[in-house]
A and B are shown apart, each in its own frame.
Chain A
Amino acid sequence: MITNINVPPMITEKKLVELYHQMWLIRFFDEKVDEFFAKGLIHGTTHLCVGQEASAAGAIAVLEDRDKITSTHRGHGHCIAKGAEANRMMAELFGRVTGYCRGKGGSMHIADVDKGNLGANGIVGGGIPIAVGSALTSQMKKLGYVTMCFFGDGATNEGSFHEAVNMAAIWNLPVVFVCENNQYGMSGPVKDMVKVANIADRAAAYGIPGKVVDGNDIFAMMNVTHEAVERARRGEGPTLIEAKTYRWKGHSKSDAKKYRTRDEEMDWRNNRDPIERMKRVLISEGIVSEQEAAQLEADARQEIENAVKFAEESPMPPLEILEEDVYA
């Protein structure tokens, strides 16, 4: 029984243990990707969500399987949380035919339409109107599903954000907007790019609730998103949630991080690590022991090693698929 911590009703002890494991999966996945980029084993570019695991895992934990998400260029965490297999994700980054996109999409375009993941997006703010359209389908066909729309702080300065949030608001669409404010849009500090104190304050402009939450506290994430999802499912419309978080790594693979200090980075790493914070709670609540926590971490590490093996052993796409699937 979960007694001393406040979690949404569908979150069981078993689910909490899974989420702890899932956050490690996300972290190890992206750390492995980082390592392979540095070694030149993966090409292109990638955007890592190390340090932001709780906002992805916590928000998606309160969704049902039928619910949908739209993700971002920094989307590996959302993918894993929505049920994607690390094997096929890693294979995609390796450009293999066994990847989610048969090696045609890469890091920024992983989608898992069958699992309700309508795709990462290489265009900042590009997924926000798409989430609104997905919510429109749910409303028009009375399907009852909710669409959770992820985007970063930078996207809230795009016109697509304002147009789409307004549209969702006037039509009371079942969508939950989750802004992962990781403090920087590439090199631009959010405080230099946004005049309001909180991005959630922008909700007032559209007549919808805006909530600020500690994005590195998975329990807080689950509670605030659960409330918004329930509201959306009741037909009362969208909510804008701002999850304050921090990306430990640079924007993408070639980032000298001149725009922030190493002290600031160490503060977030040492004092606000979302995984460490969850672990402390799980142990103090007696949900896992130190030993069990270590085992879950080791299991996740092994799963990512297995994913790498799967990717490395997978075949390259044959040239014949180059011109396939341009049209349905």
Chain B
Amino acid sequence: MSTMRELTYLEAVRECMSQEMRVNEDVFIMGEDIGLYGGAFGVTRGMLEEFGKERVRNTPISEAAIAGAAVGAAMTGMRPIVELQFSDFITIATDQIVNQAAKNRYMFGGKGKVPLVLRTPSGSGTGAAAQHSQSLEAWMAHIPGLKVIQPSTAYDAKGLLKAAIDDDNPVIFYEHKLLYRTKGHVPEESYSLPIGKADIKRSGTDVTIVATAIMVHKALQAAVELEKDGISVEIIDPRTLVPLDIETIVESVKKTGRLVVVHEAVKRGGFGGEIASLIAESEAFDYLDAPIKRLGGKSVPIPYNPVLEKAAIPQELDIIQAVKETVFRR
């Protein structure tokens, strides 16, 4: 049965792009080594053969020009998908994303639109060290005019990517590298998930964990352990940071009275601070039985050594400990 079919996250992303490119001539993909090579992580493998080099457009190593050409193409009627080889390279494409794509419509008084998707692998865990392992989503979430998506499962990746491609705004789509090989149930037919709708990945009553990207999986593992100690954990995956479905988080915190926020990105200035603040400002504040806890990466560049690399970001045990501190606080 096709409904029970499993795909990897990577295959789900590819399938979505291929399905959209089959039905919409305006959709094309551009990026470094996405042609014959199939992309640095193999996401576009086979797409050149199906769609040809015009629509699976291999670019020079020119992140500013790639992003800018996508902006120009989007403004004039195309719906480009950019594959930015590593999300760290957003630093070299930032002018076009932040100063151009995000602002054009507003600056021009509501004229024109920039329907582009920038897909990019983020996160640590591959031993690629400080310049190929960052989680910089808070930067993009700070910019009015951009939408920011961080899917954690193959199912979410396919549905949210379709929504991103259909969206008339610039969308930054973060794909965690370690999730590429994870498998999940993915329907074969094309489907769209709403941008701005959180997903409750596990229902519980004692504590709410808001987790993003790979931390959703670490939180799910932690929840299994915590259940053995009689702690019932609710896990909310915002899936999209901008727009953020704060209502779902507020409702959950009103129910559990406790909140732990966890992301891989550096804790200082990370998006967890925004979520914690929104809860502190919301009606859920009166329901809190313990201070909000935030878990995030340490304030260090991601190191090369695998032991150090792991220690730089929250792990399952850190989540378990944080939840226990929250739940058993007197």
Contact = CB atoms under 8 A, between A and B. Distances in A.
B60 A167 contact: yes
Contacts of B62: 163-164, 166-167
B144 interface: yes
A109 B63 CA distance: 24
Contacts of A137: 72-73, 76-78
B106 interface: yes
B109 A325 contact: yes
Interface stretch (B92-100, B175-183, B203-211, B302-310): B92-100
B231 interface: no
Interface in A25-68: 68
Nearest to B69: A133
A279 interface: no
Interface string B226-267: 000000000000000000000000000000000000000000
B108 A105 contact: yes
Contacts of B75: 113, 118, 130, 133-134
Contacts of A170: 60
Question: What bracket does the count of chain B residues touching chain A fall in?
Answer: 35 or more
Interface in B57-93: 59-60, 62-78, 80
Nearest to B114: A328
B192 interface: no
Interface in A83-135: 99-105, 109, 111-114, 118-119, 121-123, 126, 128-135
A130 B107 contact: no
Contact of A130 (B71, B106, B168): B71
A326 interface: yes
B110 A111 contact: no
Nearest to B103: A109
A327 interface: yes
A136 interface: yes
A153 B147 CA distance: 35
B248 to A, nearest CB: 21
Nearest to A102: B109
B105 A129 contact: no
B145 interface: yes
Interface of B: 26, 28, 54-55, 59-60, 62-78, 80, 95-96, 99-100, 104-115, 144-145, 147, 168-169
Closest 7 CB pairs of A and B: A129-B68, A133-B72, A163-B65, A101-B109, A325-B110, A163-B62, A102-B109
Interface of A: 68, 70, 99-105, 109, 111-114, 118-119, 121-123, 126, 128-138, 140-141, 147, 159-160, 163-164, 166-167, 170, 324-328
Given A111-B111, A166-B60, 6 more contacts: A101-B108, A104-B107, A118-B75, A160-B95, A326-B105, A327-B105
